[in-house]
Amino acid sequence: MQSDLVAQINTDHLLQNYQALRACCRPGVKLCAPLKADAYGHGVAIVAPALQEAGADYAAVATVSEAIELRALGWQPPILILGNILAVSDRMERRDRIAAVVKHHLMVTIADTATVRHVIEAEPPEPISVHIKMDSGMGRMGVMPSGVAELVKLVRATRCLRPVGFYSHFATADFENGDLVGRQLRTFGQTASSMAADLPSDTLCHLANSAATITLPAAHFDMVRPGLALYGYPPAPRMSELIELKPILRLVSHVTAMKELPIGHCVGYGQTFTASRPTRLGIIPAGYFDGFPRSLSNAAIVGTPYGDAPIIGRVSMDQLAVDLTDLPAMAMGSEVTLIDDRPNRPNSVQSLARHLGTIPYEITCLLGQRVQRVRVGGGRDVRPGRSHP
């Protein structure tokens, strides 16, 4: 049974974005697909199989449960867990997480000595592959440059750990001012070079996010991690001139109720809209629980086959109202487009993000559990139950 809210995920667009990002890199540079947060809200069950078939080298997730879900979908390439998964107080919980890492052949981020001690304490039955993370200037998770040598030495001395990667993350690669980007790149490059003799020769060094993948070849090293761009959204408007990206998301619904309102009749909570003319009202079964923010009340449109319909009144938990007065052909069941996949539309992800003073990531990640994700385009599914390394 189909939901009243459907996110159409265009895998043809996804693969075109993937190839465009590949083309930004020199031959031999690996591509890690960030699939955390349900593939940035787009639906990992649709996105991951398409990317695996395309040849993605790695996946990055935030949690153990996300990694397990990815394996259940049949994802076979390496999976790097970006979060500090052992920073929990319960010793048995740490053991359970380590057991899951071993069972599903996952890779763990090491950002401090405490994580190393936790792994040793858990006594894994086989060595765990790890990526050491350095804070090159973002001020988030990662060992400071001055502590890298000590941490690398500790990891190398720990028989149950196998270092396979060394990475960091940019804070401002999408900014035109490149001062911090330059400092981070120099810090990371110099540290990686100084550690080359202390790490295995095939250690993967990776730093580049979407913006750096597109604009900064010097930051590509051995692997890139383009997240937002993979889903079709340039990290900054100016980058749309450097690479052709196609949004992969279109959110559609339909009209579930219609009525005629007289002049003076209000619409929705708080009486924020009052009809100034006889108004043909349409109801759409989407609200803030579904990721359509309340702050778009009286301030956005939905697309229809016959023209745009303004949202009137407050967006509520499960419904929003639109003015169909100027669209007489609209009828019960007529399709509406809540989020358009054409970047220049007023209800595209980019336009909504600008209007709300936020970033495209937040718009796509807000999509709720009632939104049914369906694939449009070519490709094939990799069903749960497929074997993996």
Is 269 designated active site?
Answer: yes
SS3 content of the chain, % helix, strand, coil (to 5): 35, 25, 40
Which residue of the set 103, 153, 269, 306 is catalytic? 269
Q: What is the pLDDT of residue 378?
A: 72
Q: What is the pLDDT of residue 227?
A: 95
193 conformational bin, left if phi > 0, alpha if psi -120 to 50, beta if neither: alpha
**H helix intervals, the chain:** 11-23, 36-40, 44-54, 64-72, 91-103, 113-122, 148-157, 179-195, 210-215, 349-356, 360-365
- Specify the DSSP class assigned to residue 235: S
Distance (Å, rounded) from C-alpha 204 to C-alpha 63?
21
Where do the domains of the chain lie, and which CATH numbers do they carry? 11-230 (3.20.20.10), 249-340 (2.40.37.10)
Contact (CB, 8 A) for 299 and 311: yes
User: Mean pLDDT across the stretch 87-93?
Assistant: 93
Which residue of the set 30, 36, 133, 246 is catalytic? 36
Q: What is the pLDDT of residue 382?
A: 36
Contact (CB, 8 A) for 194 and 186: no
pLDDT in tens, 210-248: 999 999 999 999 999 999 999 999 999 999 999 999 999
Q: What is the pLDDT of residue 209?
A: 98
Contact (CB, 8 A) for 326 and 301: no
Contact (CB, 8 A) for 231 and 247: yes
Q: What is the pLDDT of residue 388?
A: 28
pLDDT in tens, 271-328: 999 999 999 999 999 999 999 999 999 999 999 999 999 999 999 999 999 999 999 9
pLDDT in tens, 91-108: 999 999 999 999 999 999
List the structure tokens of 385: 């139950």
pLDDT at residue 389 is higher than 50: no
pLDDT at residue 262 is higher than 90: yes
Is 36 designated active site?
Answer: yes
List the structure tokens of 49: 């199989």
What is the DSSP secondary-structure string of 103-127?
HTT-EEEE-SHHHHHHHHHH--SSP
Helix (H) or strand (E) holding 146: none
Q: What is the pLDDT of residue 1?
A: 80
Residue 65, CB half-sphere, CA atoms under 13 Å: how many? 3
Q: What is the pLDDT of residue 18?
A: 98
